[in-house]
Amino acid sequence: MRYTRLGRDGPDISKIGLGSLALSGAYGPIDRDEALGLIRRALDGGVTLLDTADFYAAGEVERLVGRAIAGRRDEVVVSTRGGVRRGGPGEPIEFDASPDHLTRACEASLRRLGVDRVDLYYLHCRDRTPVEEAVSRLSELARAGKIRHLGLTNATVDQVRRAHAVHPVTALALEYSLWGPHAPPELLDEARRLGLGVVAARPLGRGFLTGRIRSPLQLGAGDWRHEDPRFQQEHLRLSTRPLRQIEAAAAQLDLGAGRLALAWLISHGDHVVPVPSTRDPVHLEMNLAASGVRLTPETRDRLTGILPAGGANQSGSLLL
């Protein structure tokens, strides 16, 4: 595993983190003990960034993370987020970044995680609450020692600037992968200008970039990807040709497409950190091995051109 600093002033973390959406059951069922074992395996494999959210399995994933880090708190940077509420698929998604909600949400995350302080707390920036009000409250929580670093997710460039003027922002979480939608260049530029880390959410295109999902019929009944227009049959069909090109490029480098997709992200610089999620220990090993793959700038740029040309660069689902 390689290590890096998250942004100019952030914590030192592994070059690949562990996302935890797959451990919530959003992509198919998983047993709690297996999920716990997977997180512990990731830590044993050198992962030091665990990314979660307060609403994953109604808080259950935060509890799992808390159990997994018990006794090894100093080894790991835990990120979680507040400002959104959601139940299962089909249930309404509510945004609430009001100061009082954020205080309650942060306190609840601390309890579930079993920690005194969240290392990186993301504000979900979709609510109508002005970002200054939400960030002021998070800044108070930081002064009270409950939050170490502030992150933003779903933020616009304007929100990033306004938030940063109230309290230093350490990282932006964005949907960022070889598959569309690509991270907006103006947001990436702003992150670079301000020295923010970029956490690449959905780095494997929710599994599409591994080449294993060719049809929505492969997804189980409660799978969150049924809500994502990119997993409808027609869009998957349009994406097949570019995916084959990615698979061919991966084969030339003696890699799988998923590992190439992670290496592509890492090749953009030390400030980009992917957080793939998985339920499968073998997939975990494969993903962590991507930290050692180095792409030339030519390979990186060639790959970047593949998917937009394939017409797959359309909006995905809301980033949650």
- Residues lying near ligand NAP in the complex (CB under 6 A) are found at 19-22, 27, 51, 81, 122, 153, 173, 201-207, 210, 212, 258, 275-280, 283, 286-287, 319-320
Beta carbon nearer to ligand NAP, 128 or 145:
128
With b for 16 or more beta-carbon neighbours within 10 A and e for fewer, the 293-308 pattern comes to bebeeebbeebeebbe
Beta carbon nearer to ligand NAP, 108 or 289:
289
Kind plus residue range of the DSSP H or E element containing 239: helix 233-252
- Please state the closest distance from residue 88 (CB atom) to ligand NAP, in A: 15
- Please state the closest distance from residue 247 (CB atom) to ligand NAP, in A: 12
Helix axes 257-266, 233-252, angle to 10 degrees: 80
Beta carbon nearer to ligand NAP, 171 or 298:
171
Report the side by side order of strands in the sheet with 77-82. Answer: 18-19, 49-51, 77-82, 118-124, 147-153, 169-175, 197-201, 272-274
User: Which is the catalytic residue, given 27, 56, 121, 176?
Assistant: 56
What is the dihedral sign for C-alpha 296, 298, 299, 300? positive
Closest residue (Cβ) to ligand NAP?
19
- Please state the closest distance from residue 207 (CB atom) to ligand NAP, in A: 3
Alpha carbon distance 238, 236 (integer Å): 5
- Please state the closest distance from residue 203 (CB atom) to ligand NAP, in A: 5
Q: Give the bridge partners for 86, in sequence order.
A: 93
Six-digit token pair at 255? 């890699």
Please say if 27 is a catalytic residue. Answer: no
**Which amino acid type is present at position 186?**
E
Alpha carbon distance 214, 90 (integer Å): 23
In degrees to the nearest 10, what's the CA dihedral of 159, 162, 164, 167?
A: -120
Kind plus residue range of the DSSP H or E element containing 127: none
- Please state the closest distance from residue 296 (CB atom) to ligand NAP, in A: 23
Beta carbon nearer to ligand NAP, 245 or 317:
317
- Please state the closest distance from residue 38 (CB atom) to ligand NAP, in A: 9
Beta carbon nearer to ligand NAP, 110 or 199:
199
Beta carbon nearer to ligand NAP, 63 or 202:
202
Residue for token pair 């306004």: 162
Active site amino acids: 56
